[in-house]
Homo-oligomer: A and B are copies of this chain.
């Protein structure tokens, strides 16, 4: 019997026990404060959204497919969108539309691969550092993440093989191209070594590739999934968030064989199907507009912002600090050294009016607490400069 003066307690599943906030939520809260310059989120530069083209695509859908767009549909996704996704992936991996499962953004894709394949106690191997929201999603299926030691070229193949033999992981989760948060683009030779380990051990790869098209220097490098023999033991995750717009929430999973059916059954339980309006509008955009030309415009801007932010950042960081110099993607990754704990630095920085993501959040275990992630794409150059001056003042206060 409950005491009538006390409301009954809602039960909390074990997977969320003790979780009252997350790094992502804290970020979003900071972002909602208008006076803070945020380098924290992975938000594209809003002024370069192709808003009028996208508006025309939605209107085209209502003019040409109103009944279809507004009605219930099938779980794998709209044929038009699956065809466009297959066409884009086929530039490096031959892909048919039935090898595509549409998702409500790539976060749902990450969640579904975990939900479809993981039982409590299973191990997933991840990069060190890795994408924090992927860790959260896999953890909500009860999995334990083990970080793969890495060097400047990304995860080390010898360490990967040792960890596979030690932990028998359900899969390996990698972001080989312009990794989040490190910005590392794994060279082809390293990808081939990783692929060889995965082939030899029969280990499933989940390859997250949201940033691959945001390249502003160097040549295209095939996904690991595109290397010989890997396509049928990989799931490749893509999203339109970075090449079109994240507010629309459309992504997809590319895979082969019965796992696609399981992913679809999981998707059905989680949300039946993604917004048909959004799917058809994205398909229209990918079919009728020159998205590659749009991406070329955007990455030229991103390159300039990377250059500017990196140069100014090195000026304000203490001696011995390192900052990556990625050829694409959205993030700089800085290791400040000098005993600086960026988690403790953040509240001071927010007081000064600037935000970043403390590196701690990106480690499955044993974090390097002196690291931070900064997005160079969200803000124009003069705002980046002002934000870094604020960060400089925060560092002065830390040292003083």
Instruction: Using CB atoms and an 8 Å cutoff, list the residues of chain A in contact with chain B.
Output: 1-2, 4, 7-8, 10-16, 19-22, 24-25, 28, 32, 41-44, 46-47, 49, 51-52, 54-55, 58-59, 62-63, 66-75, 104-105, 107-108, 111, 115-120, 122, 133, 136-137, 140-141, 170-171, 199-204, 229, 232-233, 235, 241, 245-249, 255-259, 261-262, 264-266, 268-278
Our pick among B72, B248, B261, B268 for the contact of A20 (Cβ within 8 Å) is: B261
Residue of B nearest to A42 (CB): B72
- Contact between chains at A118 and B270 (CB < 8 Å): no
Question: Provided the pairs A1-B200, A75-B28, A249-B273 are in contact, do residues A55 and B62 lie with their beta carbons within 8 angstroms?
Answer: yes
- Contact between chains at B246 and A72 (CB < 8 Å): yes
Additional A-B contacts beyond A4-B199, A25-B264, A108-B270 (9; CB < 8 A): A1-B200, A2-B201, A11-B117, A16-B265, A16-B266, A19-B265, A24-B268, A49-B67, A55-B62
> How many copies, total?
2
- Contact between chains at A275 and B278 (CB < 8 Å): yes
Residue of B nearest to A108 (CB): B271
Give the distance to chain B from A115, nearest Cβ to Cβ, in Å.
7
Give the distance to chain B from A23, nearest Cβ to Cβ, in Å.
10
Question: Provided the pairs A54-B70, A58-B277, A140-B269 are in contact, do residues A8 and B202 lie with their beta carbons within 8 angstroms?
Answer: yes
Which 9 A-B pairs have CB atoms at the shortest separation, nearest pair first? Answer: A2-B202, A55-B62, A70-B245, A247-B276, A8-B202, A10-B259, A51-B66, A108-B271, A107-B272
Give the distance to chain B from A134, nearest Cβ to Cβ, in Å.
10
A136 to B229, CA, bound (A): 35
Give the distance to chain B from A16, nearest Cβ to Cβ, in Å.
5
- Contact between chains at B233 and A8 (CB < 8 Å): yes
- Contact between chains at A72 and B41 (CB < 8 Å): yes
- Contact between chains at A70 and B271 (CB < 8 Å): no
Tell which of A7, A8, A119 has the most Cβ of chain B within 10 Å. A8
Contacts of A269 in B (CB 8 A): 107, 111, 133, 136-137, 140
- Contact between chains at B59 and A46 (CB < 8 Å): no
Contacts of A270 in B (CB 8 A): 107-108, 111, 137, 270-271
Contacts of A43 in B (CB 8 A): 71-72
Our pick among B11, B66, B200, B204 for the contact of A49 (Cβ within 8 Å) is: B66
A265 to B255, CA, bound (A): 28
Contacts of A233 in B (CB 8 A): 7-8, 10
A10 to B303, CA, bound (A): 39
Contacts of A116 in B (CB 8 A): 12-13, 16
- Contact between chains at B272 and A105 (CB < 8 Å): yes
A245 to B12, CA, bound (A): 32
Residue of B nearest to A235 (CB): B10
> What are 9 residue pairs bridging A and B, where the CB atoms are less than 8 Å apart in the complex?
A24-B272, A46-B71, A52-B62, A58-B62, A59-B59, A71-B247, A104-B275, A107-B271, A133-B269
Contacts of A119 in B (CB 8 A): 13-14
Question: Provided the pairs A66-B49, A245-B71 are in contact, do residues A204 and B11 lie with their beta carbons within 8 angstroms?
Answer: yes
Contacts of A275 in B (CB 8 A): 104, 247-249, 275, 278
Residue of B nearest to A232 (CB): B7
A119 to B51, CA, bound (A): 43
